[in-house]
Structure 1
Amino acid sequence: MHFSGTITQRVDGKGRVSIPADFRAVLAEGDPAYDPDTKRLRMRVVYGDPSRKCLEIYTISAFDKILKRVATLPEGSDEREILELFLVSGSEVVEVDADGRTILAQRLRDHMGLPRDGGEAVCAGALDLFRMWTPEEFEAERQRKMAAVKARMAGGGNILKLLPPNPEG
Protein backbone atom coordinates (compact mmCIF):
# COMPACT_ATOMS: atom_id res chain seq x y z
CA MET A 1 0.00 0.00 0.00
CA HIS A 2 1.03 3.56 -0.67
CA PHE A 3 -0.09 7.05 0.25
CA SER A 4 -1.97 8.69 -2.61
CA GLY A 5 -4.47 11.48 -3.02
CA THR A 6 -4.81 14.97 -1.63
CA ILE A 7 -7.16 15.76 1.23
CA THR A 8 -7.60 19.03 3.15
CA GLN A 9 -8.27 18.71 6.88
CA ARG A 10 -9.06 21.26 9.58
CA VAL A 11 -6.49 21.81 12.36
CA ASP A 12 -7.91 23.39 15.50
CA GLY A 13 -6.11 25.80 17.85
CA LYS A 14 -4.90 22.88 20.00
CA GLY A 15 -3.33 21.16 16.99
CA ARG A 16 -5.93 18.40 16.66
CA VAL A 17 -6.31 17.06 13.14
CA SER A 18 -7.92 13.97 11.61
CA ILE A 19 -5.68 11.78 9.51
CA PRO A 20 -7.51 10.71 6.33
CA ALA A 21 -8.92 7.16 6.55
CA ASP A 22 -6.98 5.91 3.49
CA PHE A 23 -3.76 7.23 5.01
CA ARG A 24 -4.54 5.56 8.35
CA ALA A 25 -4.82 2.20 6.60
CA VAL A 26 -1.28 2.62 5.21
CA LEU A 27 0.02 3.79 8.60
CA ALA A 28 -1.54 0.75 10.32
CA GLU A 29 0.05 -1.62 7.81
CA GLY A 30 3.45 -0.02 8.46
CA ASP A 31 3.24 -0.01 12.28
CA PRO A 32 4.53 -3.29 13.74
CA ALA A 33 2.94 -2.44 17.11
CA TYR A 34 -0.50 -1.63 15.66
CA ASP A 35 -3.30 -3.31 17.61
CA PRO A 36 -6.52 -3.62 15.61
CA ASP A 37 -8.51 -3.90 18.86
CA THR A 38 -7.48 -0.46 20.14
CA LYS A 39 -7.02 1.04 16.65
CA ARG A 40 -4.25 3.26 18.01
CA LEU A 41 -1.33 3.58 15.66
CA ARG A 42 1.90 5.51 15.32
CA MET A 43 3.58 7.51 12.60
CA ARG A 44 6.95 9.22 12.27
CA VAL A 45 6.73 12.97 11.62
CA VAL A 46 9.82 14.66 10.15
CA TYR A 47 10.05 18.42 10.62
CA GLY A 48 13.79 19.02 10.65
CA ASP A 49 14.43 20.19 7.09
CA PRO A 50 14.38 24.00 7.32
CA SER A 51 14.09 24.36 3.54
CA ARG A 52 10.64 22.71 3.42
CA LYS A 53 7.58 24.28 5.05
CA CYS A 54 5.81 20.96 5.44
CA LEU A 55 5.75 17.88 7.62
CA GLU A 56 6.86 14.62 6.06
CA ILE A 57 5.01 11.69 7.59
CA TYR A 58 6.21 8.09 7.27
CA THR A 59 5.03 4.75 8.54
CA ILE A 60 7.16 3.40 11.37
CA SER A 61 8.53 0.63 9.11
CA ALA A 62 9.37 2.97 6.22
CA PHE A 63 11.23 5.35 8.50
CA ASP A 64 13.14 2.46 10.12
CA LYS A 65 14.46 1.58 6.65
CA ILE A 66 15.72 5.15 6.25
CA LEU A 67 17.40 5.03 9.67
CA LYS A 68 19.21 1.82 8.66
CA ARG A 69 20.50 3.57 5.54
CA VAL A 70 21.72 6.53 7.61
CA ALA A 71 23.52 4.11 9.95
CA THR A 72 25.53 2.70 7.03
CA LEU A 73 27.26 6.06 6.51
CA PRO A 74 30.63 6.53 8.21
CA GLU A 75 30.35 8.03 11.69
CA GLY A 76 31.41 11.67 11.68
CA SER A 77 30.87 12.08 7.92
CA ASP A 78 29.14 15.28 6.81
CA GLU A 79 26.37 13.28 5.13
CA ARG A 80 25.61 11.26 8.24
CA GLU A 81 25.69 14.27 10.55
CA ILE A 82 23.36 16.25 8.26
CA LEU A 83 20.91 13.35 8.07
CA GLU A 84 21.13 12.77 11.82
CA LEU A 85 20.41 16.45 12.48
CA PHE A 86 17.53 16.90 10.04
CA LEU A 87 16.00 13.41 9.95
CA VAL A 88 16.81 11.71 13.23
CA SER A 89 16.81 14.67 15.63
CA GLY A 90 14.23 16.49 13.54
CA SER A 91 11.54 13.84 13.84
CA GLU A 92 9.27 12.30 16.39
CA VAL A 93 6.80 9.47 16.78
CA VAL A 94 3.22 10.73 16.97
CA GLU A 95 0.20 8.64 17.94
CA VAL A 96 -3.13 8.54 16.15
CA ASP A 97 -6.08 7.73 18.39
CA ALA A 98 -8.87 5.24 17.72
CA ASP A 99 -10.96 8.01 16.09
CA GLY A 100 -8.17 8.80 13.61
CA ARG A 101 -7.10 12.05 15.25
CA THR A 102 -3.69 13.23 16.30
CA ILE A 103 -2.31 16.31 17.99
CA LEU A 104 0.41 18.25 16.22
CA ALA A 105 2.73 19.88 18.75
CA GLN A 106 3.16 23.64 18.39
CA ARG A 107 6.71 23.23 16.98
CA LEU A 108 5.25 21.10 14.15
CA ARG A 109 2.52 23.64 13.41
CA ASP A 110 5.11 26.44 13.51
CA HIS A 111 7.32 24.57 11.03
CA MET A 112 4.37 24.32 8.62
CA GLY A 113 3.45 27.95 9.13
CA LEU A 114 0.00 27.21 10.56
CA PRO A 115 -1.58 30.10 12.46
CA ARG A 116 -1.67 29.65 16.26
CA ASP A 117 -5.45 29.53 16.25
CA GLY A 118 -5.54 26.69 13.70
CA GLY A 119 -6.26 26.51 10.02
CA GLU A 120 -6.21 23.93 7.27
CA ALA A 121 -3.67 21.29 6.38
CA VAL A 122 -3.35 19.67 2.99
CA CYS A 123 -2.40 15.99 3.29
CA ALA A 124 -0.72 15.01 0.02
CA GLY A 125 0.21 11.40 -0.67
CA ALA A 126 3.69 10.70 -2.01
CA LEU A 127 3.93 6.88 -2.15
CA ASP A 128 6.07 5.98 0.91
CA LEU A 129 5.10 9.10 2.85
CA PHE A 130 2.59 11.88 2.90
CA ARG A 131 3.27 15.55 3.36
CA MET A 132 1.22 18.00 5.36
CA TRP A 133 1.26 21.60 4.12
CA THR A 134 -0.73 24.75 4.64
CA PRO A 135 -2.89 25.28 1.53
CA GLU A 136 -0.73 28.27 0.55
CA GLU A 137 2.54 26.35 0.80
CA PHE A 138 1.06 23.37 -1.04
CA GLU A 139 -0.05 25.60 -3.91
CA ALA A 140 3.36 27.33 -3.99
CA GLU A 141 5.05 23.90 -4.18
CA ARG A 142 2.68 22.84 -6.99
CA GLN A 143 3.60 25.99 -8.90
CA ARG A 144 7.35 25.36 -8.42
CA LYS A 145 6.98 21.79 -9.67
CA MET A 146 4.80 22.90 -12.59
CA ALA A 147 7.49 25.37 -13.66
CA ALA A 148 10.05 22.56 -13.51
CA VAL A 149 7.81 20.29 -15.61
CA LYS A 150 7.29 23.02 -18.20
CA ALA A 151 11.05 23.59 -18.43
CA ARG A 152 11.80 19.86 -18.84
CA MET A 153 9.02 19.28 -21.33
CA ALA A 154 9.31 22.43 -23.41
CA GLY A 155 8.18 20.49 -26.49
CA GLY A 156 5.03 19.33 -24.75
CA GLY A 157 3.90 15.81 -24.15
CA ASN A 158 2.57 13.64 -21.40
CA ILE A 159 4.14 13.72 -17.92
CA LEU A 160 4.29 9.91 -18.04
CA LYS A 161 7.43 10.44 -20.15
CA LEU A 162 9.16 11.25 -16.85
CA LEU A 163 8.81 7.62 -15.75
CA PRO A 164 11.79 5.28 -16.12
CA PRO A 165 11.43 2.53 -18.73
CA ASN A 166 9.04 -0.25 -17.80
CA PRO A 167 11.15 -3.28 -16.81
CA GLU A 168 8.35 -5.57 -17.97
CA GLY A 169 8.65 -4.27 -21.52
Structure 2
Amino acid sequence: MVQAFEGEYTQRVDKKGRMSIPADFRRVLLSGDPEAEARGNPRLKIVYGQHLKNCVQAYTINEYQRVIDDIYAMPRERSADQKRLAHLYVTQSITLDVDKDGRVILPKSIRDKLSIEEGDVYFRGLVGTFEMWSNDIFQSTVNADIDDWLDGMDDDFDPLSLLGGS
Protein backbone atom coordinates (compact mmCIF):
# COMPACT_ATOMS: atom_id res chain seq x y z
CA MET A 1 0.00 0.00 0.00
CA VAL A 2 1.38 3.39 -1.03
CA GLN A 3 1.39 5.94 1.74
CA ALA A 4 0.08 9.38 0.91
CA PHE A 5 0.23 12.83 2.45
CA GLU A 6 -3.29 13.37 3.74
CA GLY A 7 -4.98 15.95 5.91
CA GLU A 8 -4.28 19.47 7.00
CA TYR A 9 -2.29 20.75 9.93
CA THR A 10 -1.05 23.98 11.37
CA GLN A 11 2.41 24.07 12.93
CA ARG A 12 4.26 26.90 14.65
CA VAL A 13 7.63 28.24 13.43
CA ASP A 14 9.78 29.76 16.16
CA LYS A 15 12.24 32.69 15.86
CA LYS A 16 15.06 30.31 14.90
CA GLY A 17 13.01 28.76 12.09
CA ARG A 18 12.38 25.49 13.92
CA MET A 19 9.15 23.74 13.12
CA SER A 20 7.69 20.29 13.72
CA ILE A 21 6.60 18.24 10.75
CA PRO A 22 3.18 16.66 11.45
CA ALA A 23 3.61 13.08 12.69
CA ASP A 24 1.46 11.62 9.89
CA PHE A 25 3.65 13.37 7.32
CA ARG A 26 6.83 12.15 9.04
CA ARG A 27 5.67 8.56 8.61
CA VAL A 28 5.27 9.10 4.86
CA LEU A 29 8.67 10.82 4.68
CA LEU A 30 10.23 7.90 6.52
CA SER A 31 8.74 5.34 4.13
CA GLY A 32 9.83 7.44 1.13
CA ASP A 33 13.50 7.83 2.08
CA PRO A 34 15.62 4.75 1.32
CA GLU A 35 18.38 5.94 3.67
CA ALA A 36 16.14 6.90 6.59
CA GLU A 37 16.65 3.71 8.56
CA ALA A 38 20.45 3.92 8.33
CA ARG A 39 20.42 7.66 9.09
CA GLY A 40 17.87 7.37 11.87
CA ASN A 41 15.65 10.14 10.51
CA PRO A 42 14.05 10.99 7.17
CA ARG A 43 14.89 13.78 4.78
CA LEU A 44 12.56 15.78 2.57
CA LYS A 45 12.98 17.87 -0.53
CA ILE A 46 11.46 21.33 -0.58
CA VAL A 47 10.82 22.95 -3.95
CA TYR A 48 10.38 26.71 -3.87
CA GLY A 49 10.49 27.60 -7.59
CA GLN A 50 9.04 30.74 -9.09
CA HIS A 51 5.98 28.79 -10.26
CA LEU A 52 4.93 28.52 -6.60
CA LYS A 53 3.59 31.93 -5.71
CA ASN A 54 2.81 31.80 -1.99
CA CYS A 55 3.80 28.30 -0.95
CA VAL A 56 6.48 25.64 -1.15
CA GLN A 57 6.08 21.97 -2.06
CA ALA A 58 7.63 19.12 -0.11
CA TYR A 59 8.44 15.69 -1.48
CA THR A 60 9.73 12.41 -0.12
CA ILE A 61 13.19 11.57 -1.44
CA ASN A 62 11.71 8.83 -3.66
CA GLU A 63 8.93 11.01 -5.08
CA TYR A 64 11.37 13.83 -5.79
CA GLN A 65 13.66 11.36 -7.60
CA ARG A 66 10.74 10.37 -9.83
CA VAL A 67 10.31 14.02 -10.82
CA ILE A 68 14.04 14.31 -11.56
CA ASP A 69 13.96 11.09 -13.61
CA ASP A 70 11.03 12.47 -15.65
CA ILE A 71 12.90 15.72 -16.30
CA TYR A 72 16.00 13.79 -17.33
CA ALA A 73 13.96 11.59 -19.69
CA MET A 74 12.55 14.53 -21.65
CA PRO A 75 13.32 14.40 -25.40
CA ARG A 76 16.36 16.39 -26.55
CA GLU A 77 14.22 18.56 -28.83
CA ARG A 78 12.58 19.93 -25.69
CA SER A 79 15.88 20.85 -24.04
CA ALA A 80 14.78 24.45 -23.36
CA ASP A 81 11.78 23.13 -21.41
CA GLN A 82 14.04 20.62 -19.67
CA LYS A 83 16.30 23.46 -18.52
CA ARG A 84 13.32 25.44 -17.28
CA LEU A 85 11.95 22.48 -15.34
CA ALA A 86 15.41 21.72 -13.96
CA HIS A 87 15.64 25.32 -12.79
CA LEU A 88 12.26 25.18 -11.04
CA TYR A 89 12.69 21.72 -9.49
CA VAL A 90 16.42 21.16 -9.14
CA THR A 91 18.05 24.56 -8.80
CA GLN A 92 15.24 25.94 -6.66
CA SER A 93 15.10 23.09 -4.15
CA ILE A 94 16.73 22.14 -0.88
CA THR A 95 17.04 19.01 1.21
CA LEU A 96 16.11 19.22 4.87
CA ASP A 97 16.85 16.66 7.57
CA VAL A 98 14.13 15.88 10.07
CA ASP A 99 15.72 15.69 13.53
CA LYS A 100 15.01 13.04 16.20
CA ASP A 101 12.21 15.23 17.60
CA GLY A 102 10.47 15.50 14.22
CA ARG A 103 11.58 19.06 13.54
CA VAL A 104 13.26 20.85 10.67
CA ILE A 105 14.87 24.24 10.50
CA LEU A 106 13.29 26.28 7.75
CA PRO A 107 15.96 28.45 6.14
CA LYS A 108 15.31 32.17 6.07
CA SER A 109 14.82 32.06 2.29
CA ILE A 110 11.91 29.63 2.72
CA ARG A 111 10.40 31.65 5.57
CA ASP A 112 10.68 34.74 3.35
CA LYS A 113 8.94 32.91 0.49
CA LEU A 114 6.13 32.02 2.90
CA SER A 115 6.06 35.55 4.39
CA ILE A 116 6.72 34.11 7.85
CA GLU A 117 9.40 35.15 10.29
CA GLU A 118 7.71 33.18 13.01
CA GLY A 119 4.11 32.07 13.29
CA ASP A 120 1.75 29.47 11.90
CA VAL A 121 2.47 27.37 8.83
CA TYR A 122 -0.45 25.59 7.19
CA PHE A 123 0.26 22.13 5.79
CA ARG A 124 -1.99 20.46 3.25
CA GLY A 125 -1.50 16.92 2.03
CA LEU A 126 -1.79 16.44 -1.70
CA VAL A 127 -1.20 12.68 -1.98
CA GLY A 128 2.39 12.53 -3.36
CA THR A 129 3.46 15.89 -1.99
CA PHE A 130 2.46 18.39 0.62
CA GLU A 131 2.41 22.16 0.57
CA MET A 132 3.36 24.64 3.24
CA TRP A 133 1.73 28.06 3.34
CA SER A 134 1.50 31.01 5.64
CA ASN A 135 -1.73 30.15 7.43
CA ASP A 136 -3.12 33.65 6.82
CA ILE A 137 -2.36 33.59 3.09
CA PHE A 138 -3.83 30.12 2.66
CA GLN A 139 -7.06 31.04 4.40
CA SER A 140 -7.50 34.24 2.38
CA THR A 141 -6.57 32.85 -1.06
CA VAL A 142 -6.88 29.09 -1.50
CA ASN A 143 -9.82 28.52 0.83
CA ALA A 144 -11.61 31.51 -0.71
CA ASP A 145 -10.93 30.11 -4.20
CA ILE A 146 -12.36 26.68 -3.27
CA ASP A 147 -15.43 28.37 -1.73
CA ASP A 148 -15.97 30.43 -4.90
CA TRP A 149 -15.58 27.33 -7.09
CA LEU A 150 -18.09 25.33 -5.03
CA ASP A 151 -20.52 28.28 -4.96
CA GLY A 152 -20.59 28.13 -8.78
CA MET A 153 -21.61 24.45 -8.81
CA ASP A 154 -25.08 22.93 -8.56
CA ASP A 155 -26.26 21.98 -5.07
CA ASP A 156 -25.92 18.28 -5.91
CA PHE A 157 -22.39 18.61 -7.38
CA ASP A 158 -20.10 15.75 -6.40
CA PRO A 159 -16.39 16.73 -6.71
CA LEU A 160 -15.52 13.07 -7.37
CA SER A 161 -17.47 13.31 -10.63
CA LEU A 162 -14.41 15.08 -12.03
CA LEU A 163 -12.44 11.83 -11.85
CA GLY A 164 -14.42 10.46 -14.78
CA GLY A 165 -14.17 6.83 -13.69
CA SER A 166 -16.99 4.58 -12.71
Q: TM-score, normalised by structure 2?
A: 0.89
What SS class does the counterpart of residue 35 from structure 1 fall into? helix
- Opposite residue 10 of structure 1, the aligned amino acid is R
SS across alignment from 1:77: helix
Deviation at 1:146, TM superposition (A): 3.2
Mapping 1:16-35, distance limit 5 Å: 16-35=18-37
Which whole-Å deviations, capped at 9, do the CAs of 1:53-79 have from their partners, x for residues lacking one? 111000000000000000112456232
| Count of matched residue pairs | 162
Q: Does 1:61 align with 2:62?
A: yes
Match of 2:40 in 1: 39
Looking at structure 2, the residues matched to 155 and 12 of structure 1 have their Cα atoms a distance apart, in angstroms, of 43
**Identity level (%):** 33
For 1:53 and 1:156, locate their aligned partners in 2 and report how far apart those are by CA, in whole Å.
Answer: 32
Deviating runs (4+, > 4 A) in structure 1? none
Q: Secondary structure at the match of 2:165?
A: coil
Find the counterpart in structure 1 of residue 122 from structure 2. Answer: 122
C-alpha contact 1:49 1:87 (8 A) present in aligned 2: no
2:134 is equivalent to residue 137 of structure 1 = no
Write out aligned runs for 1:57-136 (5 A): 57-75=58-76, 77-114=79-116, 116=117, 118-136=118-136
Deviation, 1:45, is 0.4
Distance 1:149 1:82 in 2: 34
Any gaps of 5 or more consecutive residues in structure 1?
A: none
Higher share in helix = 2
| SS of residue paired to 1:48 | coil
Which of 9, 12, 26 is residue 11 of structure 2 equivalent to?
A: 9
Q: Distance in 2 between matches of 1:30 and 1:107?
A: 25
* Superposition deviation, residue 145 in structure 1: 3.1
* Cα deviations by residue, 1:56-112 (Å, 9 ceiling, x for unpaired): 000000000000000112456232121111111010110000110000000011111
Which consecutive unaligned segments of at least 5 residues does structure 2 have? Answer: none
Give the stretch that moved more between structures: 20-29 or 40-49: 40-49
| CA RMSD, Structure 1 to Structure 2 (Å) | 1.8
Whether contact under 8 Å (1:96, 1:102) holds in the other structure is: yes
Aligned to 2:121, the other structure's residue is in SS state strand
Cα distance in structure 2, aligned partners of 1:156 and 1:113:
38
